[in-house]
């Protein structure tokens, strides 16, 4: 795999971890929604804000990953490079 492919795979794995982090934050927040107290309200707001930031970062990562898979993306460049190397 080329460095482009390695970078894409690394970012994909980071996106999976970030998605898991978002899921955990939302589960924790949903658990706190079952309780009623000023402390839990503050925690719910904090967890919601953290999840929102991570979801926005995840959205940006997914956009970059999709862009790199499109025409001229990482795999197209890799295939082109491999084909041109085998022709010589």
Tokens of 58: 């995840």
On whether the CB atoms of residues 55 and 18 are closer than 8 A, the answer is no
Alpha-carbon gap, residue 49 to 87, rounded angstroms:
53
Quick one: pLDDT band at residue 51, thresholds 50, 70, 90? very high
Alpha-carbon gap, residue 49 to 28, rounded angstroms:
13
Tokens of 31: 């658990």
Report how far Cα 70 is from the mean position of its chain's Cα atoms: 17
pLDDT (average), residues 1-12? 76
- pLDDT digit string, tens, across residues 56-81: 999 999 998 888 887 556 665 665 56
């Amino acid at each position: 795999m080329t460095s482009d492919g390695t970078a894409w795979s690394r970012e994909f794995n980071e996106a999976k971890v970030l998605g898991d982090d978002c899921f955990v934050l939302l589960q924790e927040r949903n658990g706190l929604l079952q309780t009623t107290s000023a402390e839990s309200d503050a925690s719910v707001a904090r967890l919601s804000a953290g999840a929102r930031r991570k979801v926005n970062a995840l959205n940006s990562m997914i956009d970059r990953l999709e862009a790199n898979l499109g025409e001229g993306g990482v795999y197209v460049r890799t295939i082109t490079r491999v084909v041109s190397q085998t022709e010589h």
